[in-house]
Amino acid sequence: MNTLSRRTLLRLSSRAVLAQGIIGLLSACNGRDSSTATRFDKLTVGVVAYGEGATSIDQYQPFLDYLQAQTKMLAELEPAYNEVKAVEQLQRQVWSLAFAPPGLAAIALSRAQYLPLFPLEGVNNLSSVLVVRDDSPIQDLSDVNKRIVALGQPGSATGYYVPLYELYGTTPSEVRIASTPATVMEWLANQEADLGALARDEFDRLRPQFSPATFRLVRASRRIPSGSVLISPTVNRNQQAVIQKAMSEVLPTLAQQVGYIPNAAPPDYTTLIEFIEKVKPIEAHINEKPARLYE
């Protein structure tokens, strides 16, 4: 083989190696891009279902179909059947979008860097109430000492955080955590708890179901802000903008079906976050008997 042929082969070989290296680099970059894209190809929409997952899926499906068509991303519903599971999913940033009641919204904003997009359709003057049976000797919160108190699950503003704030300084004989507001009412009706906490609207809705037992309010809290639709910080800004635009341009009937207001600003959770932080030190005593609800 002559010198020219050998030089030609060497040049061709060098070019092949270089080309192979470039192809490998591009493949690696494309692999990273693909991995990143895949992460955001799916929108997981979280809701609290209280054991009504099938109903929630039916209710949200038209909205999911719309969101999927507008964003070109797969949109799937993930119901959580209590606030504890919902808090876990939010703190792990599993939910891309979350339809969060006020307590969960405050936690997600303060502890998991979620961003609020739209307010949920809230109950006017949403508040937390402390309830007893009509024949209960409890007249004031000072009478709660040595009594059994039923709270909602951690994550609930109306069933847990705000009532704990109201009960600060008391010493119940026991604090029981109920999975749903209906369980709180059941325990009161059956005299398994002396005082229970839940949202005012839930109390008004549930009380006829436990007749002939009758109930009265011991304390009602100040107004609590409504919930919000939240978006995870793991969704990049461009996709956040696409999602927010799609949700703001949705048909009013579709927004109403899933319970958010597309043309309004989300509420301010500053005060509620302060409540949550203030009761954090006494949460450690919840499982004690008696439960010392003070520092």
pTM: 0.80
Residues 6+ apart with CB under 8 A from 267: 102, 116, 119, 122, 225, 226, 228
Which residue intervals of the chain bear CATH 3.40.190.10? 39-120+228-266, 128-224+278-285
Class of domain 39-120+228-266: alpha beta
Evaluate whether the domain defined by 128-224+278-285 bears CATH number 3.40.190.10.
yes
The CA distance from 157 to 96, in Å, is 22
| Mean of the per-residue pLDDT values of the chain | 86
Best CA proximity match to 71, nearest among 92, 45, 111, 43 = 43
pLDDT band at 56 (very low <50, low <70, confident <90, very high): low
Q: What's the confidence (pLDDT) of residue 82?
A: 86
| Sheet with 74-80, edge to edge strand ranges | 74-80, 42-48, 97-100, 228-231, 115-119
The CA distance from 138 to 114, in Å, is 40
Q: Hey, how many other C-beta atoms are within 10 angstroms of the C-beta on 216?
A: 13
Give the mean model confidence (pLDDT) for residues 202-213. Answer: 95
Q: Where on the phi/psi map is residue 228: left (φ > 0), alpha (ψ -120 to 50), or beta? A: beta
The pLDDT tens digits for 275-290 are 899 999 999 899 999 9
The pLDDT tens digits for 73-103 are 999 999 998 888 999 999 999 999 999 999 9
**CA 214 centroid distance within chain:** 32
Best CA proximity match to 266, nearest among 82, 70, 101, 91 = 101
Residues 6+ apart with CB under 8 A from 249: 262
